[in-house]
């Protein structure tokens, strides 16, 4: 689960950072939230003893960030296409 946390956290941060239609607030939340989740995954991966709990709902955060970033990017493309038709 720790590797999955790292991968999904980084995917969320990258999606928020590099999709062109993502605005400032979502970009900041996506990058910070994704990196925090990846950091927790790295922290858990570095532990050699004990039991670490990964709440399954925690994996919803990166997925929600990715979905919101893709949706916002698609909305921007749609608006740009409508503006081009109107001109």
- The whole-angstrom separation of Cα 4 and Cα 10 is 10
- Residue 22: what pLDDT? 83
- The whole-angstrom separation of Cα 66 and Cα 30 is 8
DSSP structure string for 20-82:
TT--HHHHHHHHHHHHHHHHHHHHHHH--SS-----GGGGHHHHHHHHHHHHHHHHHHHHHHH
Reported as a single tens digit per residue, the pLDDT across 28-65 is 988 999 999 899 889 888 888 877 777 777 778 888 88
Residue 69 has which token pair?
């970033």
The pTM for the full model equals: 0.74
Residue range(s) defining the domain that contains residue 24: 2-86
Total domain count for the chain?
1
């Amino acid at each position: 689960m720790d590797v999955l946390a790292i991968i999904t956290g980084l995917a969320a941060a990258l999606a928020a950072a590099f999709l062109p239609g993502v605005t400032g607030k979502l970009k900041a939340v996506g990058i910070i939230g994704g990196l925090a989740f990846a950091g927790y995954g790295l922290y858990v991966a570095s532990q050699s003893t004990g039991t670490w709990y990964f709440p399954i709902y925690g994996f919803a955060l990166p997925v929600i960030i990715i979905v919101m970033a893709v949706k916002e990017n698609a909305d921007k493309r749609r608006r740009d296409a409508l503006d081009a038709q109107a001109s």
